[in-house]
Each structure stands twice: as C-alpha cells, then as structure tokens.
Structure 1
Amino acid sequence: MIQLISWLAGSKAGRWISTALLIIASLLLLAWRIYASGKEAQKAKHTQEALKRLRERIKSDEAIARMSAAERRRRLSDDWGS
C-alpha cells in the first residue's frame, strides 16, 4: 500500500492518475448531491400535494356535515343519477 502511495506521489504518471481520480471523485460527489437534493424536492412536492388533497377533503366533509339529511340525500341522488 505504501509503495502505491509513494508511486502516486513520486512519479509524473502517478500524479496525473491521482489528479484524474480526484476530479472523477469530485464530479461523482457533485452528481450524488444534485440527485439527493432533487429526490428531497420531489418528496416535498408529493407531501404538499397530499396536504392540499387533505384540506380539500376536510372542506367537503365539513360542507356535507352542515347539510340536512334531506339535502344530503338529494345531493347524493343527483350525483349518482348523472
């Protein structure tokens, strides 16, 4: 292992290889960070959509709960008949 490190540090070809590997590793790290941030953004978007649907559902449930039984029956029969 030490021979490999000394060859990488001591020879011109080793320094080129070390530099290339460092650049590749940096690019891979950058790509991974971009991928992870995109994944988090998509997860946040899905959560926002789920919350929006939940709010709409709560509003409709509240509206239905305020209706009289006859009004609910009429609305359901209108919706099912259409």
Structure 2
Amino acid sequence: IGAGTAALMLGAMSAIGQVPTHVPPPVAGAPAVTIERIKVHAPTIVGNLEGDSADRDVLVMLPPSYAANPKRRYPVLYALHG
C-alpha cells in the first residue's frame, strides 16, 4: 500500500479509539465527595525501560462521611489505566 493509504488507515484507526464518554448529570442534593491528590511510589517500575517516574500521581475520592468517621472502614475501588 502507498504512504497516503497507510496514513489514511492510521487516521481512521485512531478515530475509532476515541469514543465520547457519557457523563451523567449530578444528583440533586447528593453530598459532595472530597478529592485528594497524593503521590504513590511504585518500586516495581524504578528504572523502567521507558524512563517513566516511579512516583505516580493518584486521585483519592473520599465519601462525604469520611472526615466525621475516621475509624470506619470503607470499600475501595482501584481504577487503573492501561
């Protein structure tokens, strides 16, 4: 195939991967969550071949009752990309 055809195919493939994300509307009267940004060190990726930092930014979403109940245990959901 020619370079023009290859470029067209690559452009079409990347467009397929870009799907709009549906964001639901906010729930009226729902209490607000607290979002904290922390850094987590990942020793398993120190010195990785891509040269990426082993210190990763992580967003932590805390439920509205978290500050008032420091001894309560909460379920956790980890959302990892890639």
Q: Per residue, is there more helix in 1 or in 2?
A: 1
Q: Scaled by the length of structure 2, what TM-score is found?
A: 0.34
Structure with the greater relative contact order (CA < 8 A, sep ≥ 6): 1 or 2?
2
